[in-house]
Chains A and B, each alone.
Chain A
Amino acid sequence: MIEVKYFGAIAERTKCEFEKMSFSEVSLQKLLQDLNEKYQFESLTFSIAINQKIVSKTTNYTLQTSDVVALLPPFAGG
């Protein structure tokens, strides 16, 4: 299982704050592609963290079971 956490406007789109994906191993790129198809993030901007560390969106990383991915959009309110 790989856990994905959603924040801010991204969580509004996914209508949940986290979900568990039944992959044991998957590339970050494939995961993002799947999520994008499912939720149509389109113009929503976000940064990606793997295990509490922000990584480049284009990074080649193979996610393993128990990895936690987070999608962090910028906030603008104040």
Chain B
Amino acid sequence: MDAAKRYNRQTILPEIGEEGQYKLSKAKVLVIGAGGLAAAILPYLAAAGVGEIGIVDHDVIEISNLQRQVIYKASAVGKSKVQEAKLMISELNPLVKVNAFAEKLSGKNAVSLFGKYDIIVDATDNISIKYLINDACLVTNKPIVYGSIFRFQGQVSVFNYQNGPTYRCIYPDENNNTLNCEDAGVIGISVGIIGMFQANEVLKMILGIGEVLSGKILVYNILNNEQQKYDFDKSDFQLVNRESFEKKYNKSEVEEINFQSILEEINNDEVLFLDVRNNGELPKMSLKNQIQIPLSTLENEIEKLDKNQIIYVFCQSGIRSEIAVELLQKHQFKNVKSIVGGVLSMKQLIKKIKL
């Protein structure tokens, strides 16, 4: 068997064996970022026989990448990183299935992508995406192998492993301005070493051998070869769920407004209140400048409205009005907002004021 020969030197290790090789072949690993860290991680995961590897990166290869992103050839400058990485892997080990995603990781694709893999590897080079990866891993309950570089130093850790501590437990402050390689400078060897540490954690997790770097952050300095490990605990304040994730990353572009903040405008003739409920829905609202066009017929009756007018849209609870605002924005309406909570909260407020 080709595979048996290919992996012989590692399967004769008692810690791996045929069983370990089988686990590797069944493993699905997603690597975010196809830069310097990935240039070390990808070939080693592929050579070891990880069954399925996904790679996410929307960048193309630049000549300034080549001093550290050693999997790319000079002739590939200008080409897609994920496509070139896929090509490299298929030449190295055709037994590996590679999925190349030439897209930017975002709140929109992270959860669905992560759901299809067992382990997520953070090989990115900016801080805000690290929080996104962390949060999407919490939502999908996946472990993250984190690696990062500052000049001649690197950090490695494993987050959210068996419900363990996360990136937010060690760095809760999201609004920091930390330099990436582009700004700080970097040498290929430091990303190579840290990427190799990451690949090692991935294999350990798949094989169930050794001690996973969970609840510990390793800091390595290549100039003096000093290596430190720091322990950290899980913080209960750093929980993320699907709902808070969607709220943070996938906020709708529809502008919402509280009825209370526009009370003074209810008699203003330049303002239109648009009720998008169906005829006969109760309770009735009767504001001075109010018209009713049900959401279902809004698109057909859009001519009745002035694109430049300030329009506050409401419905029963604030859901249809959001859809209506989106629709109006599509038709180049500029000043449309959805009233939060709809008639139900508007009535409540009116009642409260009258009391």
Q: Which residues of A contact B (CB under 8 A)?
A: 5, 7-9, 17, 43-45, 47, 49, 52-54, 70, 72-78
Contact = CB atoms under 8 A, between A and B. Distances in A.
A77 B177 contact: no
Interface in B112-166: 122-127, 130, 147-151, 153-155
A54 B230 CA distance: 7
27 contacts: A5-B228, A7-B150, A17-B221, A43-B176, A45-B178, A47-B232, A53-B232, A54-B232, A72-B217, A72-B230, A74-B148, A74-B155, A74-B176, A74-B178, A75-B155, A75-B178, A76-B127, A76-B150, A76-B178, A76-B179, A77-B125, A77-B148, A78-B33, A78-B122, A78-B123, A78-B149, A78-B191
B211 interface: no
A57 to B, nearest CB: 9
A9 to B, nearest CB: 6
Given A76-B180, A77-B179, A77-B186, A70 B230 contact: yes
Contact of B125 (A43, A49, A73, A78): A78
B178 A78 contact: no
A52 B126 contact: no
Interface residues of B, number: 41
B37 A78 contact: yes
Nearest to B182: A77
B219 A72 contact: yes
Contacts of B177: 43
Contacts of A5: 228
A8 B150 contact: yes
B232 A45 contact: no
Given A8-B153, A47-B171, A72-B217, A78 B181 contact: yes
Given A43-B177, A54-B232, A76-B178, 5 more contacts: A7-B153, A49-B230, A54-B233, A74-B127, A78-B37
B35 interface: yes
Contact of B231 (A8, A52, A77): A52
A70 B36 CA distance: 27
B236 to A, nearest CB: 12
A8 B127 CA distance: 14
Contacts of B149: 75, 77-78
B229 interface: yes
B184 interface: yes
A43 B229 CA distance: 25
Contacts of A43: 176-177
List the 9 shortest-distance A-B pairs measured between CB atoms, nearest first: A45-B176, A77-B149, A54-B232, A78-B125, A75-B148, A77-B181, A8-B150, A75-B150, A76-B178
Nearest to B149: A77
Given A45-B176, A72-B219, A9 B150 contact: yes
B126 to A, nearest CB: 6
